[in-house]
Structure 1
Amino acid sequence: MSAPNKSYDPVEVEALKPETIDQAREEALAAIAAAPDLEALREVKAAHAGDRSPLALANREIGALPPHAKADAGKRVGQARGAVNKALAGRRQELEAERDERVLVEEAVDVTLPHDRVPAGARHPLTTLSERIEDIFVAMGYEVAEGPEVEAEWFNFDALNFLPDHPARTTTDTFFVRGTGAGDEGAADEPEDASGVVLRTHTSPVQVRSLLERELPVYVICPGRVFRTDELDATHTPVFTQVELLAIDEGLTMADLKGTLDHMVQSLFGPDMTTRLRPYHFPFTEPSAEMDMVCYVCHGASVGDPARPCRACSSEGWIELGGCGVVNPRVLTACGVDPERYSGFAFGFGIERMLMFRHNVEDMRDMVEGDVRFTRPFGMEI
């Protein structure tokens, strides 16, 4: 067996030559100094300090050297690798500091900027008021009933005791749905090709449908949109929101109607509000009445006092809300209800008019034009 080669000189190993190690170190330091960001520095580290880097390969050659040569070669390689690692750590700190400083500038939040540049939304006050009215009657045991907005004439007129020549059945008051061909003869002003279908002029057809579909007794409230051929102005609109009430049971009288109206008005306007009934005529109720409530502004104090005029009631002391009455027996008969056993009452009013009273809205056009400046003050009340 031959003895170890003690004359083996590490200088003769290409990877361990001093000039080779110095060159690898200088190339690594130059690349580290030139790294523009942390991502580039990671690539430099892999190339000059990774397992396949020149200095790492040189370090592997040390194991093959004779004992007396390992120390000197290890010292040179170790110093070079230490310099590279130190340069990597220093450059990493510099790049991280630059990154943090840049982030503070680029992602800074100016807390003095307005926080409400996108305004908060608002529910339309008609929706809010309609739901409040529904809640009042649901708490009394009523149900909310709905029906189609495009309605047959029978439901809209005939079942409600509107005679064929009633003025409300003409095109001056009602929107008729045009048919595809010539229709039967109807009212004098009805279009020749009418289909017998109209845009409902009130929510009373929902009352008729409720009597036909539900078991007696019936207590329903019927809110919804209705359509009439009115010009859009400060006090009228061709599309508006109406709410009607129907109560059919044994023994109901006009006194029950009066108590119900008082409760509704007091719930909406205050406990000191009262109502009055004035004789009137409606085809679907008999007897019928117009319902007034005491003026919510002056409470009647402006009547006969020129020094204290009231714009809300024109110093009359009362404000008209809508129509009401005891359900006409003909309506009950048309819906299959025995008028000898059952009686009931109904009333209806426009929610737009109620909104004008509650919030001093002077122009009904503000409710339909969609201007957020009108709806926003009402907020998101639910």
Structure 2
Amino acid sequence: MNNLLQEVENSKAEINNFSTTDKNPAEVFRIQFLGSKGLIKSLMGEMKNVPAENRREMGQVLNDLKLFAENKYEELKKTSDNGQETTGSEVDLSLPGEALPLGSRHPISIVRNKIISIFQRLGFAVAEGPEIEDDWHNFTALNLPENHPARDMQDTFYVSQNPDWMLRTHTSSVQVREMKKGKLPIRIICPGRVYRNETISARAHCFFHQVEGLYIASDVSFADLKQTLYFFVQEMFGNTIKVRFRPSYFPFTEPSAEMDITCLICGGTGCNVCKHTGWVEILGCGMVHPKVLENCGIDSNKYSGFAFGMGIERITMLKYQIKDLRLFSENDLRFLKQFTSAV
């Protein structure tokens, strides 16, 4: 114990007489005396060699030493701060600041905003809804009752069951919510993120982004749908793009169709992206099924409408000729910096 007391006295003298030529003496002092490998820590470790009956007394001595060192450290910090203030000539505040790197918009955001802008010029308003939906809004109201085989095409991630709550598989649920309000006519687009239980690959992902459209009024025809989509394609891809409609099946529309455009990768000559057909499907569409209107409290004898839906990723891949869907969610700056500036 006497040896430890002598070391404490020597340490106190060393702390009191501390000096250094370093520009930051407070930090040097902290490391030397108060750091995890400093002198105070080392002396504290010697407590195990002190007899039990003397440990309380020795502990008080070491605590006093630590307090003495901390006070010295605070004095050095004040001296350092005052020294920096008096040597302000080392920092020239008139010099220009370092330029911050300019960010860029995500390609999905660029195309999403472009799609919204096109349809807003046609009088479509933007409607949004929750990403977690109940079974009725996501399936049943859209003519997809329980055990309907078409549900298999939209397997998703369930949050809970009985009652079923899930991550929505399409933004059609937003259309249902708008139709239930009963404010007719309806002319909306519904952009948002959706989810599917799919294997992640260059052409598929477990989440993606959609824009769906809905127009309900008196005497709406399939011709109105076609002209709306013709306008969209020409505004998005140019006037020279070719379009075709193919009959298809969707439970919530009748008749239904899929819309193809000339493959922008190969110019219609055939490649692996278009499966050597020269055509690429970009969206599904059709006239709103009367059962869907009735489910939402709309008189199907008085009103009709059309609906369409497209994946924003697919439109983006075609517009910028991107061949791997996974690039959109990998946050690779080398990829993201290629797109339009945020300012």
TM-score by length of 1: 0.62
Distance in 2, Cα, partners of 1:330 & 1:172? 20
Q: What SS does structure 2 have at the residue aligned with 1:287?
A: strand
Hey, what does 2:82 align to over in structure 1?
A: none
Shift of 1:119: 2.8
Matching of residue 147 in structure 1 with residue 129 in structure 2: yes
Residues 126 and 355 in structure 1, CA contact (< 8 A), matched pair in contact too:
yes
1:64-83 pair list within 5 angstroms: none
Deviations 1:161-185 (A, max 9, x none): 0031124546981211125xxx3xx
Structure 1: runs of 5+ lacking an equivalent: 1-101, 184-194, 303-308
Residues 282 and 314 in structure 2, CA contact (< 8 A), matched pair in contact too:
yes
Residues 235 and 364 in structure 1, CA contact (< 8 A), matched pair in contact too:
yes
* AA of the residue aligned to 1:239: F
- Pairwise CA RMSD: 2.5
Shift of 1:220: 0.3
Residues 262 and 273 in structure 1, CA contact (< 8 A), matched pair in contact too:
no
Q: What SS does structure 1 have at the residue aligned with 2:287?
A: strand
Residues 141 and 292 in structure 2, CA contact (< 8 A), matched pair in contact too:
yes
Identity of aligned residues (%): 46
Deviations 1:11-31 (A, max 9, x none): xxxxxxxxxxxxxxxxxxxxx
Deviations 1:275-330 (A, max 9, x none): 21111111000011111112335543x2xxxxxx5455344221111211110000
- Indicate which of 96, 119, 124 corresponds to 2:101: 119
Matching of residue 164 in structure 1 with residue 146 in structure 2: yes
Distance in 2, Cα, partners of 1:150 & 1:108? 52
Distance in 2, Cα, partners of 1:379 & 1:214? 40
1:319-338 pair list within 5 angstroms: 319-338=280-299
1:357 to 1:209, Cα distance in 2 relative to 1, 3 A? same
Residues 261 and 275 in structure 1, CA contact (< 8 A), matched pair in contact too:
no
1:130 to 1:107, Cα distance in 2 relative to 1, 3 A? same
Matching of residue 270 in structure 1 with residue 238 in structure 2: yes
* AA of the residue aligned to 2:330: E
1:285 to 1:274, Cα distance in 2 relative to 1, 3 A? same
Q: What SS does structure 1 have at the residue aligned with 2:179?
A: helix
- Indicate which of 264, 267, 272 corresponds to 1:296: 264
Shift of 1:232: 1.6
* AA of the residue aligned to 1:139: R
Structure 2: runs of 5+ lacking an equivalent: 1-86
Hey, what does 2:22 align to over in structure 1?
A: none
Hey, what does 1:137 align to over in structure 2?
A: 119
1:249 to 1:354, Cα distance in 2 relative to 1, 3 A? same
Q: What SS does structure 1 have at the residue aligned with 2:284?
A: strand
Distance in 1, Cα, partners of 2:154 & 2:296? 28
Distance in 2, Cα, partners of 1:145 & 1:106? 53
Distance in 2, Cα, partners of 1:177 & 1:333? 28
Hey, what does 2:227 align to over in structure 1?
A: 259
Distance in 2, Cα, partners of 1:159 & 1:343? 16
Residues 217 and 304 in structure 2, CA contact (< 8 A), matched pair in contact too:
yes
Distance in 2, Cα, partners of 1:261 & 1:127? 21
Distance in 1, Cα, partners of 2:189 & 2:237? 19
Residues 128 and 192 in structure 2, CA contact (< 8 A), matched pair in contact too:
yes
Distance in 2, Cα, partners of 1:363 & 1:297? 13
Hey, what does 2:274 align to over in structure 1?
A: 313
Q: What SS does structure 1 have at the residue aligned with 2:200?
A: coil
Distance in 1, Cα, partners of 2:183 & 2:93? 67
Hey, what does 2:157 align to over in structure 1?
A: 175
Distance in 2, Cα, partners of 1:342 & 1:198? 31
Residues 266 and 274 in structure 1, CA contact (< 8 A), matched pair in contact too:
no
